[in-house]
């Protein structure tokens, strides 16, 4: 699975994590996690809440002392040289941490000073940063006047104030409406086109599927799968899915579905039929007019549910 680690020339690695371990009390939050990210790549960490995503991010930034393992971020060993690494890195945190007493422009100016940037340098970059965040018209607005999407975009612009080569994004679109999410996705694609490296955590499957070159599914601090989104789906999931709902869906599943589907899952009132040959399933459904169904290709969410869902936990 770990093709990136097999071939890499050292200079190509933007982030290298090996056998990372972190315990709180007796519980392992990160338990022997290894992965590496190439320069210019978008890599996503997927996992349910509490899987260890944020702790992994904090370890990579040198904010949490790991109990074991090695980390190298933009060529610098972390936590040893975390400060030098952070000079070349940007972070979009999960929680809003904009300065409420400042305007949009002041937030960027003050943040630039933490990187040792001269006010004149940040002032020169300011129009481009505001343009990128679609906030040029809000330059002198207070933070309280901004919508949720605007705040996120400003946080993104803030993370770019030092022109970082590597950007950490911890659930960048959580809590945003669809329009706001699409705008953020568009900006992330622009950053990737400029050659930036991005580490993204998310629990939105469509987000990972759209943006990530490669992704890792983690749970209980361990990696369960890693690879390109479509390759992963192909490797773990039957290509076609039929979702069946309506009164009697469960009866249909018990009497007919089980024999036709390669794999079958029931969540609430919905039956998920995974199959390589969906036409036989759909033919059988014609005899059950009360049921409605949706036929679609398998996606990352199917993979995620298979790997981290009830089925997986029961086995382990």
Q: Which residues bind other proteins (CB under 8 A)?
A: 24, 61, 63-65, 83-84, 86-87, 91, 93, 95-102, 106, 110-111, 113-116, 158, 162
Q: Which two tokens stand for residue 70?
A: 């090695």
Distance CA 103, CA 144 (A): 9
Pick 54 or 173: Cβ nearer other proteins: 54
Burial of 270 (0-12, 13-18, 19+ CB in 10 A): middle
Minimum CB distance to other proteins, residue 34 (Å) = 23
Pick 158 or 306: Cβ nearer other proteins: 158
Distance of CA 28 to the CA centre of its chain: 22
Minimum CB distance to other proteins, residue 101 (Å) = 5
Minimum CB distance to other proteins, residue 63 (Å) = 6
Distance CA 285, CA 287 (A): 5
Minimum CB distance to other proteins, residue 79 (Å) = 9
Per DSSP, 136 falls in state: G
Q: Look up tokens 């936990």; give the residue.
A: 313
Pick 1 or 109: Cβ nearer other proteins: 109
Distance CA 157, CA 91 (A): 10
Distance CA 311, CA 316 (A): 9
CA angle 273, 277, 281 (to 5 degrees): 50
Minimum CB distance to other proteins, residue 113 (Å) = 4
- Is residue 210 within 8 A of residue 300, CB to CB? The reply is no
Minimum CB distance to other proteins, residue 153 (Å) = 16
Pick 15 or 223: Cβ nearer other proteins: 15
Pick 167 or 253: Cβ nearer other proteins: 167
Query: What is the maximal distance between C-alpha atoms in the chain?
Result: 73
Nearest to 71 by CA among 28, 11, 2, 20: 20
- Is residue 63 within 8 A of residue 73, CB to CB? The reply is no
Distance of CA 80 to the CA centre of its chain: 27
Which helix (H) or strand (E) is 236 found in, with range? helix 229-236
Q: How many CB atoms lie within 10 A of CB 57?
A: 20
Minimum CB distance to other proteins, residue 171 (Å) = 15
Minimum CB distance to other proteins, residue 112 (Å) = 9
Pick 120 or 259: Cβ nearer other proteins: 120
Pick 72 or 306: Cβ nearer other proteins: 72
Pick 94 or 299: Cβ nearer other proteins: 94
């Amino acid at each position: 699975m770990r093709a990136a680690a097999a071939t890499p020339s050292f200079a190509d690695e933007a982030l290298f994590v090996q056998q990372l371990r972190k315990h709180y009390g007796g519980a392992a939050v990160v338990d022997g996690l290894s992965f590496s990210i190439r320069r210019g790549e978008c890599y996503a960490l997927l996992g349910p809440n509490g899987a260890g995503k944020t702790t992994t991010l904090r370890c990579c930034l040198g904010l949490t002392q790991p109990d074991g393992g090695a980390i190298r971020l933009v060529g610098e060993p972390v936590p040893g040289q975390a400060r030098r690494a952070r000079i070349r890195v940007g972070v979009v945190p999960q929680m809003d941490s904009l300065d409420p007493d400042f305007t949009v422009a002041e937030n960027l100016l003050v943040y630039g000073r933490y990187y040792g940037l001269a006010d004149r340098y940040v002032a020169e970059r300011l129009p481009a940063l505001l343009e990128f965040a679609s906030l040029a018209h809000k330059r002198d607005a207070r933070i309280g006047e901004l919508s949720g999407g605007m705040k996120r975009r400003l946080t993104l612009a803030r993370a770019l104030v030092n022109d970082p080569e590597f950007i950490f994004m911890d659930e960048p679109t959580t809590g945003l409406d669809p329009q706001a999410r699409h705008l953020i996705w568009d900006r992330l694609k622009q950053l990737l086109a400029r050659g930036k490296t991005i580490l993204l955590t998310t629990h939105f499957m469509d987000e990972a599927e759209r943006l990530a070159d490669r992704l890792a599914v983690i749970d209980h601090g361990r990696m369960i799968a890693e690879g390109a989104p479509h390759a992963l789906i192909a490797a773990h999931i039957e290509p076609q899915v039929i979702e069946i709902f309506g009164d009697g869906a469960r009866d249909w599943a018990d009497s007919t579905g089980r024999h036709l589907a390669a794999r079958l899952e029931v969540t609430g009132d919905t039956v998920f039929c995974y199959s390589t040959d969906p036409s036989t399933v759909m033919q059988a459904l014609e005899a059950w007019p009360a049921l409605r169904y949706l036929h679609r290709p398998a996606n990352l969410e199917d993979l995620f549910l298979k790997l981290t869902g009830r089925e997986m936990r029961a086995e382990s």
